[in-house]
Amino acid sequence: MLKTTVLRCANVPLKRTFSTTFFRPNNLKAATPITTAVKGVEDDTRSIPPKSDILTKHDAVSTVPDVRGDWVLFHPVYSPEELKAIEVTFKSEGVSAFLITLEQVVHRDATTFADKLAATMVMIARRGFDLVSRYKHKPIPANHNMSLEELRKGGYVMDESQWLMRILFLESIAGVPGMVAATCRHLRSLRLMRRDAGWIHTLLEEAENERMHLMTFMTLKQPSIFFRAMILGAQGVFYNLFFFSYLISPKTCHRFVGYLEEEAVITYTRAIEEIEKGRLPEWADKPAPGIAKDYWRLPENATLLDVIYAVRSDETTHRFVNHSLANLTPENDVNPFALREPDMLTKGVKPGFSREESAQYVKESHAIMEGRV
C-alpha cells in the first residue's frame, strides 16, 4: 500500500507525488495532511478497465485506478462557516428581496483610469453574456400573487435549463484569464531567465478551479452543438483579446478579472437565493455530483445547493486574489498567496489586499513557515 501526503505547512517538507488530493490550507498551523491510498499493481486488476477503454474513455472521472478526481493543483476547501461568510446586502424596497446589484456585494471602487476601463469592459462583457445565455432577472413586483410558472413566463425567474446555460457559458470563459496570464508569465520567466515570484502557480490554480466548475455542471447538462459553437467562438475571441491585453497591461487585466468575479459572485448568490426561496425547485434537494463532493470535500449527503455555495466561495477567492494582484507591481512584486491564502472570513468581506497589506501578509507567512509564530 503506497500512501502519499501533500501539504504546504510549517515544519512539514513539501513533496509532490502522484496523489490527486492537493489542497491549499487557509491556516498553515491548523492544517492537517490529507492522504490518498493508491493500491499496488497486484491489487489493481479489479479496477482497471479493459485494455480497449483505458485510454479512450474520455468522460471518466479519473484516469488513475482507485483515485477519484483528475485535478492536481492546490485549491481551497471551505468550512461550513466560511461558505456563509460572504458579505451580501439585499434590497427589499418595493422589489424582491433577492434582487442584487453590483453595489450590494463586496465591490472595489474604480479610482484610476485603468480601473474604470476594466469596470466598463466588464459591464460590456456582462451584457454580452446575458444576451448570449438569455439570462434575465427582472425585479419581481411587490405583493405579487403570480405562480412560479407565471414568474418564469414573465421573465422574472429562470428555470433549470436557463440557469445551466448561463453557468456553462460563464465557466467556459472564466477559465481563460488564469491560463493566459500564467502562460504570459511563464514565457516571460523563460525570456528573462529568472524566477517568477510565485505568480504562475496561483494563476494556474485559478484556471483549473474554473475548469472544475464547468466539469461539475456538465454532469447536469450536455450542451447542444450550437451552444458549443458559440462557446468556441467566444473563447477564441476572448483568449486572444486577453492575451494581447495582458502583454500591454497585466495590472488592468487582473483588475478586469476582479470585477468579472464580482459579477460571478452576484450570479451565484442569485442562484442560491432562488433555490432557498423555492423558485428553483428542481435544484432544492438535488444530490451533489460525485465529482463535486470529492473536489470540495463535501459530505455524502451534500446537495447541489452546497455545491453552489462552494462555487460562490471560489469566485470570491478569485475576486480577492485578482484585485490584490492588480494592486502589485507585476514585474517585481512577490505573489502574497504563493504559500497560503486568507480564509473566507477575510476574503468574503473585502475586495482584496492593498500593496502594503500584501507585504505584511508575506511577512506573516514567512514567520509561520519558520516557526516563529
Q: Are residues 100 and 24 in the same domain?
A: no
Res. 84 pLDDT band, cuts 50 70 90: confident
Q: Are residues 47 and 131 in the same domain?
A: no
pLDDT at 61 over 90: no
- Could you tell me what percent of the chain has a pLDDT over 90? 43
In a domain? residue 225: yes
Task: Write down which residue in 49, 72, 95 finishes a domain.
Answer: 72
Q: What are residue 204's phi and psi, to 5 degrees?
A: -65, -40
- Could you tell me what percent of the chain has a pLDDT over 70? 75
Q: For position 133, what pLDDT does the model report?
A: 66
Q: Are residues 184 and 298 in the same domain?
A: yes
Residues 198, 182 contacting (CB under 8 angstroms)? no
- The whole-number average pLDDT for the span 110-132 is 86
Res. 34 pLDDT band, cuts 50 70 90: very low
Res. 360 pLDDT band, cuts 50 70 90: very high
Out of 3-12, 182-191, 239-248, 304-313, pick the least confident. Answer: 3-12
- The whole-number average pLDDT for the span 367-373 is 81
Res. 33 pLDDT band, cuts 50 70 90: very low
In a domain? residue 179: yes
Q: For position 252, what pLDDT does the model report?
A: 96
Distance of CA 66 to the CA centre of its chain: 26
Q: Are residues 155 and 38 in the same domain?
A: no
Q: Are residues 148 and 7 in the same domain?
A: no
User: In the chain, where does DSSP find H-type helix?
Assistant: 80-83, 113-133, 148-153, 160-174, 176-192, 199-218, 225-248, 250-276, 290-295, 304-326, 344-347, 355-369
Owning domain of residue 353: 85-369
In a domain? residue 77: no
Q: Are residues 15 and 152 in the same domain?
A: no
Res. 326 pLDDT band, cuts 50 70 90: very high
Which triple of cell numbers denotes residue 48? 482497471
Task: Write down which residue in 72, 98, 130 finishes a domain.
Answer: 72
Q: For position 80, what pLDDT does the model report?
A: 85
Q: For position 222, what pLDDT does the model report?
A: 84
pLDDT at 224 over 70: yes
Q: For position 141, what pLDDT does the model report?
A: 74
pLDDT at 43 over 70: no
Q: For position 269, what pLDDT does the model report?
A: 92
Q: For position 1, what pLDDT does the model report?
A: 32
Q: Are residues 50 and 162 in the same domain?
A: no
Give the chain's domain count.
Answer: 2
Q: What mean pLDDT value characterizes the chain? A: 78
pLDDT at 190 over 60: yes
What CATH number is attached to the domain comprising 264? Answer: 1.20.1260.140
Q: Are residues 236 and 304 in the same domain?
A: yes
Res. 53 pLDDT band, cuts 50 70 90: low
In a domain? residue 80: no
Strand 34-38 to 2-6 pairing: antiparallel
Out of 23-32, 230-239, 298-307, 340-349, pick the least confident. Answer: 23-32
Q: Give the tens place of pLDDT for each residue, 237-283.
A: 999 999 999 999 999 999 999 999 999 999 999 899 899 988 899 99
Q: For position 104, what pLDDT does the model report?
A: 63
Strand (E) or helix (H) holding 36: strand 34-38
Q: For position 90, what pLDDT does the model report?
A: 55
Give pTM, 2 decimals.
0.79
Task: Write down which residue in 39, 72, 105 finishes a domain.
Answer: 72
Q: Are residues 61 and 89 in the same domain?
A: no
Residues 75, 295 contacting (CB under 8 angstroms)? yes
Q: For position 248, what pLDDT does the model report?
A: 95
pLDDT at 27 over 50: no
In a domain? residue 79: no
pLDDT at 115 over 70: yes
Which of 38-42, 315-319, 365-369 tops mean pLDDT?
315-319
Q: Which residue has the higher pLDDT, 66 or 373?
A: 373
Which residues does residue 303 pair with via DSSP β-bridges, in sequence order?
Answer: 287
Residues 321, 290 contacting (CB under 8 angstroms)? no
Q: Are residues 32 and 131 in the same domain?
A: no
Q: Are residues 113 and 228 in the same domain?
A: yes
- The whole-number average pLDDT for the span 13-27 is 38
Q: Are residues 47 and 174 in the same domain?
A: no
- The whole-number average pLDDT for the span 97-115 is 68
